[in-house]
Amino acid sequence: MAIEAGYSGSSAAEIVGITYRQLDYWARTDLVRPSLEDARGSGTRRRYSYRDLLELKVIKKLLDAGLKLETVRSVFAYMKENLGEDVTTANLVIDGNKTVLIRKDAELIDLVKRGQGVLNILPLASVKDEVDAGIVDLPANVSSLALKREATGTHG
């Protein structure tokens, strides 16, 4: 198995489409910590894996769909616990403050039990394609996407 070089914080932020400040805050508050190398004081750099990028993109999609960060934290924690490593295998239905997880086996799980609003279905399968496109578009990154996928066991 190839060793994954990973992505710097600035590259991860650019690929996912968030600011470095957001990425730093999410790491410091334990929303998503870099799995390859965490900061250990001044002068050290975080290194994010391909899987970390997928998780960050899911969080960005949840925020873009109108969920508050506190709700995103609970929804994302539940997804990680119950979907294992691949949080991109489900769809979310967001109805105001109500969020329902739809698993591959068509099981519906109410993640947040309150509120009403406009129904919005958030498919997470596109997250991989969006992260891959961000990696390809990253000018300073000439490393092979295939090596990233091989290292994480992610295909397609």
Give 127-145 pLDDT, tens digit per residue.
788 888 888 777 654 444 4
- The residue that leads in pLDDT, 8 or 105, is 8
d(CA 156, CA 132): 10
Average pLDDT over residues 76-80: 78
- Domain boundaries, given as residue ranges, for the chain: 7-152
Give 7-33 pLDDT, tens digit per residue.
999 999 999 999 999 999 999 999 988
Answer yes or no: are the C-beta atoms of 110 and 78 closer than 8 Å. Answer: no
Q: The domain 7-152: what is its CATH number?
A: 1.10.1660.10
Q: What six digits make up the tokens of 67?
A: 């969920």
Res 51: pLDDT:
87
